[in-house]
Amino acid sequence: MEGKRVILIKATEKDIEFLCMVESDKALWIYEEDVAENDDKLRENFKVRVNGDTCYDFIVTLREDRLQTPIGFVSVWKYTDWRKSWDVGFSILSQYQNKGYGVESLRLLLGFAFEELKAHKVVGMCNIENIASGKMMSKCSMRLEGTFKEELDWNGKWTDQQFFSILESEYKNN
């Protein structure tokens, strides 16, 4: 999938080391309750994901970079199968953050979810302290549906989690 400045490339087994490196980077996941260890279990998890049909991981690269150096990844996975709901996640390496690459990548991912996966609804959640993720979802026309009070056990305290979503009809009208 190609945007104006980024390209999303479906992750394959050759991308597993990059995916594991990002997924286990505590600096990138400071708002998460738990950060995965970069180990064989995580590698096996990504191997199942990249070869399955319930989760789609895409490597984010810059369109201008002929080497297609990864700058992050975005994912969409089944949330509630019988309701045609999918969940999104994203992580952009710190040196590429605040440049609009994440927003553009998420917009492309939403297009994939609605156009290819035939999603009815796409959701995304974030720690209420993660202002950047909330803004990113809002910029992609995802609406704040609600706040789950004290949902996350984060840094030794119970923290709220925000729940965003966009319907297929809303996506098509944007």
pLDDT tens-digit profile, the chain (174 residues): 999 999 999 999 999 999 999 999 999 999 999 999 888 999 999 999 999 999 999 999 999 999 999 999 999 999 998 999 999 999 999 999 999 999 999 999 999 999 999 999 999 999 999 999 999 999 999 999 999 999 999 999 999 999 999 999 999 998
* Tally of CB atoms within 10 A around 163: 17
**What is the reported pTM?**
0.95
- Domain boundaries along the sequence of the chain: 6-173
Confidence at residue 38, expressed as pLDDT on a 0 to 100 scale? 85
What is the DSSP secondary structure assignment for residue 13, as one 8-state letter? G
- At the topology level, CATH places domain 6-173 in Aminopeptidase (3.40.630)
Confidence at residue 174, expressed as pLDDT on a 0 to 100 scale? 84
* Tally of CB atoms within 10 A around 98: 10
Confidence at residue 75, expressed as pLDDT on a 0 to 100 scale? 98
Q: Dihedrals φ, ψ of 139, to 5°?
A: -65, -20
Give every CB contact of residue 89 below 8 A, 6+ residues apart in sequence: 74, 75, 76, 77, 124
Helix (H) or strand (E) segment spanning residue 107: helix 101-115
**Distance of alpha carbon 30 from alpha carbon 9, whole angstroms:** 26
